[in-house]
Each structure stands twice: as C-alpha cells, then as structure tokens.
Amino acid sequence: MGSRKALIGSGGAALAVLTFINLFNYLDRYVVSTLVESLRRSELHLTDTQAGSLMSGFLIVFALVGPIFGFLGDSRSRPRLIAFGVACWSIATALSGLAWNFASLFAARAAVGVGEAAYVTIGPSLLSDYFPPGDRGRVMAIFFCAIPVGSALGYVVGGFMDVHFGWRMAFFVAGVPGLILALLCLGLRDPPRGGQDGKETGQPRAASRPAANYLELLKNRPYVLTIAGYAAYTFALGGLAYWIPAFLERVRHVPEKSATFSFGIIVVITGFVGTFAGGWLGDFCARYTQRAYLWISAAATLAAVPFAWLALTVAAPRTYLVCMVIAQLLMFLSTGPINATIVNLVRPTQRSSANALGVFSIHLLGDVPSPLLIGLISTHSSLQQGVKLVPLAILVSGVIWIFGALAQPAGLAAAKMQGVPGLGAPR
C-alpha cells in the first residue's frame, strides 16, 4: 500500500489537503445549526426537540459506523476510503436541501454521518504516518484548526444563504464542493503504517481480529480516560455549537444575521489562536514529560468553566463577549494535545481503530445527547436553562483528564511513547 504511486506524496502537502477537506467536513456538519429558526418557521414546522434530534441522529450514525471504518482503515487503502467518505457526506448534505418533511431531513442528515465517520476515523491515522511522534501535537493542531474555521464558515455561509436565498440553498452550497475534494483524495500517498515510529508494518497484526483489537484498547487505561474526558468535552462543545445561534436570537434578542456572524467570528479567532498555541505548547512540554498533553488539556479546560458559565448566564453583552472569547480560547487549547495523545497511546497498527473507538465514544456520550437534552430542557423549561449543561460538562472533562494524566508513566518524552509498556507498545 505504501508503494502506490501518488500525486500528493509529501507530508506537508498531505497535511494541507486533509486540513482543507476537514474544513468542509465541519462546514457541512454545522450549517444546520444556523437554520434552526428558519426550519421552525418553514413548511417543515420543526419543534426544538426535532431540531435537536437532527444533530443527534447524524451523530448516532456517525458513531455507530465509525468502528467499521476504523477496522478498514487499519487494513485497507486509506486514501480510497477517505474519498468515499467525502463524496458520501457531500451528496447527503445537498440532498438535505430537498427534504419535504422532518423524516426526510432526518434521514439525509443521518446519511452525512456515514461519510464523516470514514474521514474522521482514518484522517488522523493517515497523517500520523507522515510525521514523527514529536511533531504530532502541531500537526494535529493544524489539522483540527479546521474545526473552528469550518464550523464558523458553516455559521457564516449557512446564515448568509438562509437570509438571502432560503434554507434549502444553504444545504446545496455546503454540499456540492465536496465532490471535487473527493477526487483530490485519490491522489494521496498511503505511507507504511509505523514508518515514522522506527518500524514499518505491512499488514496490521490485528487486522483479522477487530473485536480483539477493540478489547485491547479498552484495557489501555490512559487511552480510556483520555476518551472519557473527550466525551464530556464534546458534550459541551457540541451542545454549545448547535444551540448558540438560537440562544442568541431567542434569549439575547440578537438578529439572526448578527447572531451567526458574531459567533462565527469568535470561533474562527479563538479556534486559530487556541488550537495553534495548544499544539505548540504541547509539543514543547512533551519534551520533558509524556503527561504534558493531558495536563495542558486538563488545566485549560478547568480554567474555561467560570467564563463559560458567565457567558451563558449574565445578560450584559460585553460580559458575554469577553467571557465567551476567553472560554472558547481555553477550550481550543486542548485540540492538538488531546488528539496527539490518542495516536501516541496506541500501536501504529491500532490508530484507525483507536480513532474509531474514540469517535464512537465521544459522540455517543457527547454531542449525540447534548443537543437533544438541551432541546428537551428548552421545550419543558427554557433555552436559558438548557445551555447551563455546557459549563457543567466542561468541568467534568477537565477532572477526568487529570486522572488520565496521572494514569500515564511520568518520565519519558512524547517522542519515546511508542516503546513504553502499557502505552500500546508492541508486545
């Protein structure tokens, strides 16, 4: 697989291509968040519970299909699987614009989850084989900077198209460009698994035993705690990302165009600064202790809790703006370190499976239930009360990551992780 001729062979070029695709991944995912109020007023007449279930339905499929692509990603051509995923989610996003009732819209959004599951589970695994362990904090920071940028573009593009052309056109514009990106994926080189970790592996040892592979991951305590904290983190970010436009319109009485644009700008700025700063800081500190990635994530997340609470409970616009910027900045500091931790805690031949199990867990326990739970609280009480779940989940995330850091041996640098017993080292 590693010898296949490819148009895109260098690590830097592959990182650029995969990051750009990841941007459209999150644009497609979050464009629906800007359309909630329009969907409620449209001929579909969605309730808040139904609107919240659109993201939950997508994420349930996303999480359930992820382990299948994780197994395939550890044993098959990763560029081809990624190309399939990109084409699948792009077509499903465009089809969302043709929905005629809630059920058809729900089915289209759920189908987006199939395509995104392929990309999110396999993309980080492919990237990790282009770069050595000591560079992966920064590499993952660059790759995952597409989360804030793509999400913000989802708010901005979705809000703009909705205001000027209607909610159906917003889905068409978000989905169609991905078909071109799917073709670009086929030009990527598939490097040997483990080639950057001091060894090359042809076929994965556990490729024929996917169940055993996942059971082995569940016995890796630092990995399990990392994923558990990531689930709480994802609960918070997923609920906030989905409901903040409606919260600003309904609770803070901000016009739709201003609500989507202002939050999009906050996400872009804090996402860029926080993600890059966290990746650089993680790689620097990991020279001295392999616990650095998790300690940085835990400290930054806990520091974000009071600012998130104030942003969502204090009505003063200036207080909201300042506190939301600080909270988002601190939250995004964790992006690079936590994803570098996941790939460094396991064997090279387990990385797609580790990402897949992580995707399954963080979404099943995180942003699958959070939009729906916030919507339910909003239906029976108010959206003001529903969003208070967000800072509580942030607190839980930081506490779990403290235990995750303590579960790792303290002495070795990140670049040496692959040889540490108990951290997924070859037995």
pLDDT in tens, 160-215: 888 888 889 989 988 888 888 888 888 888 888 776 666 554 444 444 466 777 88
pLDDT number for residue 313: 93
* DSSP SS3 for 282: helix
**C-alpha to C-alpha distances, 110 to 29, 59, 347, 414, nearest whole angstrom:** 11, 7, 31, 37
Cα(146)–Cα(181) distance, integer angstroms: 15
Task: Please classify residue 407 by burial: count the beta carbons closer than 10 Å to its beta carbon, then call 0-12 exposed, 13-18 middle and 19+ buried.
Answer: middle
pLDDT number for residue 206: 43
For residue 389, give the amino acid letter. L
Identify the segments of the chain with pLDDT beneath 50: 1-4, 201-208, 412-427
How many helices and strands (H and E) does the chain possess?
Answer: 19, 0
pLDDT number for residue 230: 96
pLDDT number for residue 39: 86
pLDDT number for residue 417: 42
pLDDT number for residue 261: 73
Find where tokens 């909610």 sit: 167
* Residues forming beta bridges with residue 188, ordered by sequence position: 8
pTM tops 0.95, yes or no = no
Q: Which long-range contacts (CB under 8 A, 24 or more apart) does 279-282 make?
A: 279/137, 279/138, 279/139, 279/140, 279/141, 279/142, 279/335, 279/336, 279/337, 279/340, 280/137, 280/138, 280/141, 281/333, 281/337, 282/137, 282/141, 282/336, 282/337, 282/340
pLDDT number for residue 312: 94
Residue 173 in contact with residue 160, Cβ under 8 Å? Answer: no
pLDDT number for residue 398: 97
pLDDT number for residue 414: 40
**Taking the chain, what is the end-to-end CA distance rounded to the nearest angstrom?**
24
Check residue 394 and report its DSSP letter. H
| Residues contacting residue 243 through CB under 8 Å, at least 6 positions apart | 33, 36, 52, 371, 374, 375, 378, 383, 386, 387
Report residue 92: phi and psi, to 5°.
Answer: -65, -35
Number of other CB atoms surrounding residue 164 within 10 Å: 10
Token pair in block for residue 385 = 């009360």
Check residue 366 and report its DSSP letter. I
* Residues forming beta bridges with residue 193, ordered by sequence position: 201
| Residues contacting residue 328 through CB under 8 Å, at least 6 positions apart | 266, 267, 270, 271, 274, 304
User: Which secondary structure element, helix H or strand E, spans residue 171, and what is its range?
Assistant: helix 167-175
